Amino acid sequence: MSDAALDVVEFLLTTRVYNDDRELDENDLPPRYRQVFWPDGETDRDRPGTDGDSPLGIERPLRATIDTARRATGVDNPWSAISELMFTDRDEFSGSLELTQPEMAEEWFLGRADERVLHNPALAAAFEDEVDGADYEAARDANRPVQADRAWIDGLLAEYFADEEEEEMLDLVDIRAPEEIETTLDDLVLTTDQEAEIHKIVKAIEHREYLAHIGLREIGKLLFVGPPGTGKTSTARALAYDLDLPFVEVKLSMITSQYLGETAKNVEKVFEVAKRLSPCILFMDEFDFVAKTRSSDEHAAIKRAVNTLLKSIDDISLIQDDVLLIGATNHPDQLDAAAWRRFDEIVNFPKPDVEMRADILRLITRPMEIADFDPAALAEETEGLTGSDLRMVLREAVLDALTEERTELTQEDFLDAVIDFEERDNLKDLDMIEGDHDALVAGGDISGGASADGGHSHDH
């Protein structure tokens, strides 16, 4: 029997088990199934008998139809995949699918796909005693939580930002679900120190209850420091992906440059959004903006916003609020003592060394055809370049080759592109190109594995 049939029968069994067992909740449904049944942009205030305090949940009964089965499994024609099975039927008028003999369906499925039960919490709960290795708690723990679903995040935001005036605040933050983040920690080239700091924070997240019990609460505020393009943002996003946490990103200059009279309120709102989405990661880019503002004659409203920011950082906690705070700055020299002491861990992001550059080159050229490619030799020629810079070199080489009607590149193409990039970078130093270095690398990735800030990635 085809995998398509197994996919559809698993879906039908899961919806049946979930409808029958009222002790199961959304976290017992695989994410690919949940996304089919989330209500669209409503909150529970629209449902009779509810209090309106949370996103609208998934209602029972789940309806297994040709459409929901197609969207949940990716099988183009679900009925064709199972129509020859003796225990299935469909209603041509409504498009619903059903198991006419559930016990036979269970026997058929478990005889062919018991491994699937190990990863499906609803089925693990139903067949824990019948399938070797099935463990409901383990399957549930390994299942991505509902808080990581885009639909859940959108529902929560729709509830919290109910009126048009508050909705403007969402323009100040970029909120990503883990499923929308492409880079994982395994895709990144990290230094030993970076790996150690990240490992510590992962352990702190895993053992939050223990840390709270012993009174160790000042944990979970990281500051990433380093030049543009060295992977600060991509590492923070990868951490969100690996930990299944919503990622709330805010640029501090954005908060304090818009709605000038509302700046302090905006800061408070950002932290409130993070707390509402918790557990989550709150990533605050351009943290050096704090120091610039504190030492300048900026507008009083902006100074109040910065003071509110520092107080909000003091008041938020990984242990109490389930919010991991990560600040990032390209200019650590501009931070004063008041800013430094808000963070319990400082993580340095230096420009990549020669081995890291070689790894980055191997990754970003992986989908390409290159004659006589020697990434180690090319890395020797790119001293001082960041991950973002290397992607710009790659782009230049590709475009030059295309002008000659070539899609196969050579080592010489890359070496020429390095020279072109360095000449272009020198123009910036002569103030002949407006803007800072970020403007030269803002285009980001042209292959599948890179993030916008040029995180160092490699192929494992």
Q: Cα(237)–Cα(255) distance, rounded to whole angstroms?
A: 20
Q: Give me the percent of the chain exceeding a pLDDT of 90.
A: 53
The token pair at 82 is: 């199972």
* pLDDT in the model for residue 147: 87
Which residues fall within 8 angstroms of residue 290, CB to CB, at 6 or more apart? 252, 306, 309, 310, 335, 339
* pLDDT in the model for residue 11: 97
Q: Cα(316)–Cα(280) distance, rounded to whole angstroms?
A: 12
From 119-133, 177-191, 246-260, 271-285, the region with the lowest mean pLDDT? 246-260
Looking at domain 161-348, which CATH architecture does it have? Answer: 3-Layer(aba) Sandwich (3.40)
* pLDDT in the model for residue 333: 85
Q: Cα(288)–Cα(367) distance, rounded to whole angstroms?
A: 37
Stretch 389-394: mean pLDDT: 92
pLDDT band at 46 (very low <50, low <70, confident <90, very high): very low
Looking at the predicted structure, is the pLDDT value of residue 359 above 60?
Answer: yes
Distances (CA, A) of 295 to 263, 302, 307, 374: 18, 12, 12, 48
Which residues fall within 8 angstroms of residue 395, CB to CB, at 6 or more apart? 443, 446
Stretch 287-313: mean pLDDT: 72
Looking at the predicted structure, is the pLDDT value of residue 460 above 90?
Answer: no
Stretch 380-391: mean pLDDT: 92
Stretch 350-374: mean pLDDT: 91
What is the dotted CATH code of the domain comprising 354-441?
A: 1.10.8.60
Cis amide bond preceding 61, omega within 30:
yes
* pLDDT in the model for residue 282: 96
pLDDT band at 456 (very low <50, low <70, confident <90, very high): low
Q: Cα(241)–Cα(237) distance, rounded to whole angstroms?
A: 6
Q: Cα(450)–Cα(188) distance, rounded to whole angstroms?
A: 9
Looking at the predicted structure, is the pLDDT value of residue 237 above 80?
Answer: yes
Chain centroid to Cα 97, Å, comes to: 34
Which residues fall within 8 angstroms of residue 78, CB to CB, at 6 or more apart? 4, 8, 11, 66, 69, 70, 97
**Which parts of 307-396 are beta strand (E)?**
323-329, 345-348, 369-371
pLDDT band at 154 (very low <50, low <70, confident <90, very high): confident
Give the residue with greater pLDDT, 171 vs 333. 333
- Count the Cβ atoms, other than its own, within 10 Å of residue 276: 17
Looking at the predicted structure, is the pLDDT value of residue 143 above 50?
Answer: yes
Give the residue with greater pLDDT, 268 vs 292. 268
Q: Cα(182)–Cα(180) distance, rounded to whole angstroms?
A: 6
Looking at the predicted structure, is the pLDDT value of residue 168 above 60?
Answer: yes
| This prediction's pTM | 0.78
Q: Cα(223)–Cα(335) distance, rounded to whole angstroms?
A: 11
Identity of the residue numbered 92: E
Stretch 420-438: mean pLDDT: 62
* pLDDT in the model for residue 293: 59
* pLDDT in the model for residue 127: 95
From 44-48, 156-160, 428-432, the region with the lowest mean pLDDT? 44-48
Which residues fall within 8 angstroms of residue 162, CB to CB, at 6 or more apart? none
The token pair at 394 is: 């790659």
* pLDDT in the model for residue 385: 93
From 10-24, 283-297, 398-412, 440-454, the region with the lowest mean pLDDT? 440-454
- CA-CA-CA-CA torsion sign (26, 149, 205, 195): positive
CA neighbor of 69 nearest in space, from 54, 52, 83: 83
Helices 232-242 + 192-206 axis angle, to 10: 40
Beta strands 88-90; 97-99: pairing state? antiparallel
Looking at the predicted structure, is the pLDDT value of residue 47 above 80?
Answer: no
Q: Cα(147)–Cα(117) distance, rounded to whole angstroms?
A: 23
Q: Give me the percent of the chain exceeding a pLDDT of 70.
A: 82
Annotated domain spans of the chain? 3-144, 161-348, 354-441
From 11-25, 334-348, 405-419, the region with the lowest mean pLDDT? 334-348
> How many Cα atoms sit within 13 Å of 120 on the Cβ side?
23
Looking at the predicted structure, is the pLDDT value of residue 300 above 80?
Answer: no
* pLDDT in the model for residue 39: 82
Looking at the predicted structure, is the pLDDT value of residue 171 above 90?
Answer: no
Cis amide bond preceding 279, omega within 30:
yes
pLDDT band at 53 (very low <50, low <70, confident <90, very high): very low
For the chain, the average pLDDT equals: 83
* pLDDT in the model for residue 453: 44
pLDDT band at 350 (very low <50, low <70, confident <90, very high): very high
pLDDT band at 412 (very low <50, low <70, confident <90, very high): very high
